[in-house]
């Protein structure tokens, strides 16, 4: 069941690419970049988003679909009983959200709800006093990966300083319990604060 759900989510995201580009016309698509800070390791990352309206422009109300990608990377180190262990943590995710917003003057508050997939990668980089190229290192440690499904919800606001440029701030809650994560050292329920800027084409 989990494998089928994972495949369905991948296909849904791929289909959303088609929806975004087929519903977008000149002057409507938004592309944004962001800095993101999570409350779980790895904490610091960057994001990319592409957003397109689902319906023709309606006064005050904005409905759209968004494809978003995020990448986080961080080095982690632990020293215990004379052994120093270090690893590189990488987390990247891709997802889609349905977005509903309101145009109130220069400010556009919005909420979003969606699904996606994430991959967590743990890559050991050192186990001192053992050498990385030694057989002991290879025997004890190896790269570990975990792929998960998630659902998420967002709340945020854009500010239209000039028509084509929109700074934004967003809080996004993500829950990976949908995909039965294997790495229990990471919380399945995380939040992140996002600061970014979007350009309307």
- CATH number at 173 reads 2.40.160.20
Look at 66-75, 135-144, 181-190 and tell me which has the smallest mean pLDDT: 135-144
**195: closest CA among 71, 52, 46?**
46
Q: Note the pLDDT of residue 135.
A: 55
| pTM given for the model | 0.80
* pLDDT at residue 23 tops 60: no
**pLDDT-above-90 percentage for the chain:** 37
Cα–Cα distance, 95 to 66 (Å, whole number): 8
Q: How confident is the model at residue 195 (pLDDT cuts 50, 70, 90)?
A: very high
Per the structure, how many domains does the chain have? Answer: 1
CB 60 within 8 A of CB 103: yes
DSSP codes, 48-65: EEEEEESSS--SSEEEEE
What is the extent of the structural domain holding 168?
Answer: 2-200
Cα–Cα distance, 39 to 93 (Å, whole number): 16
Q: Note the pLDDT of residue 27.
A: 47
For all residues of the chain together, what is the average pLDDT? 80
Q: Note the pLDDT of residue 84.
A: 73
Q: Note the pLDDT of residue 188.
A: 84
């Amino acid at each position: 069941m989990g494998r089928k759900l994972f495949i369905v989510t991948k296909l849904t995201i791929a289909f959303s690419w088609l929806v975004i580009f087929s519903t977008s016309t000149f002057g409507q698509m938004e592309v944004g970049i962001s800095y993101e800070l999570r409350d779980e390791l790895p904490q610091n990352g960057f994001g990319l988003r592409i957003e397109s309206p689902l319906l023709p422009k309606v006064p005050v109300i904005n409905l759209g679909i968004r494809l978003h990608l995020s990448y986080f990377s961080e080095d982690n180190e632990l020293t215990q009983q004379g052994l120093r262990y270090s690893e590189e943590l990488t987390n990247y995710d891709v997802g889609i959200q349905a977005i509903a917003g309101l145009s109130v003057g220069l400010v556009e508050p919005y909420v979003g709800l969606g699904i996606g997939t994430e991959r967590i990668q743990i890559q050991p980089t050192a186990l001192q006093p053992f050498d990385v190229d030694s057989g002991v290192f290879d025997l004890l440690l190896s790269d570990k990966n975990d792929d998960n499904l998630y659902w998420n919800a967002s709340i945020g606001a854009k500010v239209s300083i000039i028509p084509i440029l929109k700074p934004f701030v967003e809080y996004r809650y993500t829950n990976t319990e949908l995909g039965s994560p294997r790495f229990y050292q990471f919380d399945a329920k995380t939040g992140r604060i996002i600061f970014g800027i979007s350009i309307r084409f």
